[in-house]
Amino acid sequence: MKKPLFTAFATLALAAVFLAGPSAAQTPAPKAPAQKSSAAPKATGAPASRDTLGKLKSTGQINVAFSGDSLPFSFVDDKRQPAGYSIDLCKRVIAHLGRVVGVPELKVNWLVGTVAERLAMVASGKADLECANTTATVTRMADVDFSSLIFLDGGGLIVKTAAVKQFADLAGKKIGVIAGTTTETRLEAVLKARLVNANVVKVKDGNEGIAMLESGSLDAFASDKIKLLGLALQAKDVKALTMLPDDLSIEPLAFALPRGDSSFRLEVNRALTQVYVSGEIEGIYNQWMGSLGRPGGLLAAMYLLNAIPR
């Protein structure tokens, strides 16, 4: 994808009140492979006690859940490897964890899944860490813990039809949303609050949502705004898509961690702090989101507030 096309769509959408000004281009990636099952097991709570650091030391490996279709945060690249903003942050965290447990070259087992599947993996112990674009919520904290924040995003909608120019125009329309996400809950709440009677259609993932939007099966697709930009870049006709100006929510993104394992959470946060205070976060941000501009005041403040002092 050429830079002018990305810039044109980003300008149309201006997905983020958190972003301002031009910078370097982002490299697009192919769509993620289809997942084996869309049925997501429900997280039912973490074990009473978890020693993740001890597990990493004894096994010499770490299991990491990630999203395969959430460009630019977490996706499968053309080499069939996990890539993105969250993945780069996660690799810094994993390197730190390896040093802490005395296994500098931890073997990483990457496990792709939907948000519900990823949270269930962490809650059950199948995954030791989750690295994607997951919103930290109090409800989810019943099953998992969360790291310090890694990003702030906003929920929004993209449309293909010129007949939809604002949220009120969605009355009687079909709106797609990924099942089990915070966007699903907040979309339904906003529709109710604004008295808009629309048909909400649950989809498996972002690739399915964007495909249905392009085919005309959906009139709009709702998700995190930065993710919507990434998905739009993979569409057949990027210029046919438009981001509505309405905000559905603010999404505080973080890594999901095993519940109750404070020693592990401490080391994950120690690693994130080091990335923030060293300035390394600037390079990671520029690589994946530079075309959207430099971090605005809210996002810059998030990095500062999550740089926990020693």
pLDDT digits (tens, 9 = 90+) for 239-270: 888 888 888 888 899 999 999 999 999 999 99
Question: Residue 310: its pLDDT value, please?
Answer: 77
Can you say whether residue 41 is alpha, beta or left, with left for phi > 0 and alpha for psi between -120 and 50 degrees?
Answer: beta
What CATH architecture does domain 52-152+251-305 belong to?
A: 3-Layer(aba) Sandwich (3.40)
The residue among 116, 30, 103, 4 whose CA lies nearest residue 62 is: 103
Residues 6+ apart with CB under 8 A from 49: 260
| pTM over 0.85, yes/no | no
41-64 mean pLDDT? 79
More confidently predicted of 154 and 111: 111
Indicate whether 39 pLDDT > 90: no
The residue-averaged pLDDT of 209-214 equals: 90
Every domain of the chain and the residues it spans = 52-152+251-305, 155-249
d(CA 186, CA 191): 9
Predicted local distance difference test score (pLDDT) of residue 26:
31
Confidence of residue 231 (pLDDT cuts 50, 70, 90): confident
Packed helices 280-289 and 85-101: angle between N→C axes, nearest 10 degrees: 150
pLDDT value for 259:
97
Residue 48: what pLDDT?
A: 55
Question: Using 50, 70 and 90 to split pLDDT, how confident is the model at 17?
Answer: very low
Higher pLDDT, residue 226 or 19: 226
Across the chain, mean pLDDT equals 83
Q: Higher pLDDT residue, 66 or 229?
A: 66
Q: What local confidence, expressed as pLDDT, does residue 153 receive?
A: 83
280 has a pLDDT exceeding 60: yes
pLDDT of residue 145: 98
pLDDT value for 10: 38
The confidence score (pLDDT) of residue 257 equals: 98
pLDDT at 118: 97
Give the pairing type, strands 199-203 and 174-178.
parallel
For residue range 74-129, list pLDDT tens digits in order: 999 999 999 999 999 999 999 999 999 999 999 999 999 999 999 999 999 999 99
187 versus 291: the higher-pLDDT residue is 187
pLDDT at 44 over 60: no
Judge whether 52-152+251-305 and 155-249 match in fold: yes
> What's the topology of domain 155-249?
D-Maltodextrin-Binding Protein; domain 2 (3.40.190)
**pLDDT score of 73 more than 50:** yes
pLDDT in tens, 284-295: 999 998 876 777
